[in-house]
Amino acid sequence: QTVVTQEPSFSVSPGGTVTLTCGLTSGSVSTSYYPSWYQQTPGQTPRTLIYDTSTRSSGVPVRFSGSILGNKAALTITGAQADDESNYYCVLYLGSGISVFGTGTNVAV
């Protein structure tokens, strides 16, 4: 079974930059996996940040950006703010109608 891996946690200083990654236990992530990213604070509904690798969802601040770095999808927060403290999840499309969430990264600011 395919597992999508993310770093368990990151700590970033206010105003700092952090890059979260989203990888596969076997194989490389490419744009063909249509990586998307979601932010969730405890007790809240997930919020869509990035889709199709690098497209920001409506209303998402420009400090959030998506890319492919090496063999993984990446979410970069440039100029982190206190309210960016959340859990972040990636989703990869595996084909044949199947998607899978990553394990999630907790970001402390």
Partner 1 sequence: QVQLVQSGDEVKKPGASVKVSCKASGYTFTKYGISWVRQAPGQGLEWMGRLNINNGNTNYAQKVQGRVTMTRDTSTNTDYMELRSLRSDDTAVYYCARDVGPTYYFDYWGQGTLVTVSS
Which residues make up the interface to partner 1 (CB under 8 A)?
Answer: 1, 34, 36, 38, 40, 45-48, 51-52, 57, 87, 89, 91, 93, 96-104
Instruction: Supply the minimum distance, in Å, between the C-beta of residue 30 and partner 1.
Output: 14
Residue for token digits 């990553």? Answer: 102
Q: What residue type is assigned to position 47 of the chain?
A: R
Residue 51 pairs in a beta bridge with: 55
Q: Which is nearer to partner 1, 10 or 93 (CB)?
A: 93
Identity of the residue, 23 or 102, whose beta carbon is nearer to partner 1 in the bound complex: 102
As measured in angstroms, the least distance from the Cβ of 46 to partner 1 is 6
> In the complex, what is the shortest distance from the CB of residue 15 to partner 1, in angstroms, rounded to a whole number?
28
Of 35 and 109, the one with the shorter C-beta distance to partner 1 is 35
One-letter identity of residue 66: G
- For residue 48, the minimal CB distance to partner 1 (Å) is 5
Which strand (E) or helix (H) includes residue 24? Answer: strand 17-24
Q: What is the DSSP string of 32-101?
A: GG--EEEEE-TTS--EEEEETTTEEPTT--TTEEEEEETTEEEEEEES--GGG-EEEEEEEEEETTEEEE
Which C-beta is closer to partner 1: that of 13 or that of 31? 31
